[in-house]
Amino acid sequence: MFGFDIGYIIIAGAFGLFSMFVGNKLKSKFKKYSKVQLRNGMSGAEIAEKMLADHGIRDVKVISTPGMLTDHYNPANKTVNLSEGVYSERNAAAAAVAAHECGHAVQHATAYSWLQMRSKLVPILNITSRFSMWVIIGGLALMQTTAIGGTIAWVGVALYGIGTLFSFVTLPVEYDASNRALAWLKNKNMLAPQEYAGAEDALKWAARTYLVAALAALATLLYFIMRVSSRD
């Protein structure tokens, strides 16, 4: 019977701890920069609306959404969704998040290729993410009794690979959105030097959460490939 061995436990444990470290660091950074009040007195919502206007985007709405760090851009209904704290607060952290999410809106408006690719992968990922692990486990178990087990296991690996691909496609999307946000904040002199430094630092740690997720997905994929190969 197939069971996760020490290799998988090490990978999951190591990246789990690393992810926890980065996540906690991100939260502490946002807490720190939430205390840096903006000289211009603008809220996150006002920052977002101005960035959209400066890029000539008139068909995207800025709305408030419940929760903490739940901020996102929804290309389906063209809304920049800002968490309650970001929407109404007037600090460096709120400015960073609001501008970053608007960076995704700019990507959408300019048909940024990586964003388009990620959007195409979403409906596929919604299916593969539910079954990939079970198909791999079932395939490995069947390999002990039937030749078709190997084929099933490799199908599972391929399905898991789609999720890994999605994680890596997400990286340029997130980094580019932050770069667009920071460039606009700087070029328009929206923030004082100390405020800008805080926004830049916060976005760097936010991007690292996606990097850790992508590396964890890749390490797990390689583990599954080795496990299936060793039984093939």
Residue 101 falls in the annotated catalytic set: yes
Nearest residue to 203 (alpha-carbon basis) of 86, 116, 59: 86
Q: How far apart are CA 107 and CA 114, in angstroms?
A: 9
Q: To 5 degrees, how large is the angle CA 174–CA 76–CA 125?
A: 65
Find the Cα–Cα–Cα–Cα dihedral 124, 126, 127, 129, rounded to 10°: 110
Look up residue 128 and give its two tokens: 């593969």
Which residue out of 46, 89, 101, 195 is catalytically annotated?
101
The letter for the amino acid at 136 is: I
Alpha helices by DSSP H, 76-192: 84-88, 92-109, 113-142, 148-187
C-beta neighbour count of 191 within 10 angstroms: 25
Residues 6+ positions from 122 with CB-CB distance below 8 Å: 166
Nearest residue to 203 (alpha-carbon basis) of 96, 123, 130, 128: 96
Q: In what order do the strands lie in the sheet with 61-65?
A: 61-65, 79-83, 72-74
Q: How far apart are CA 200 and CA 39, in angstroms?
A: 17
Catalytic residue numbers, as ranges: 101
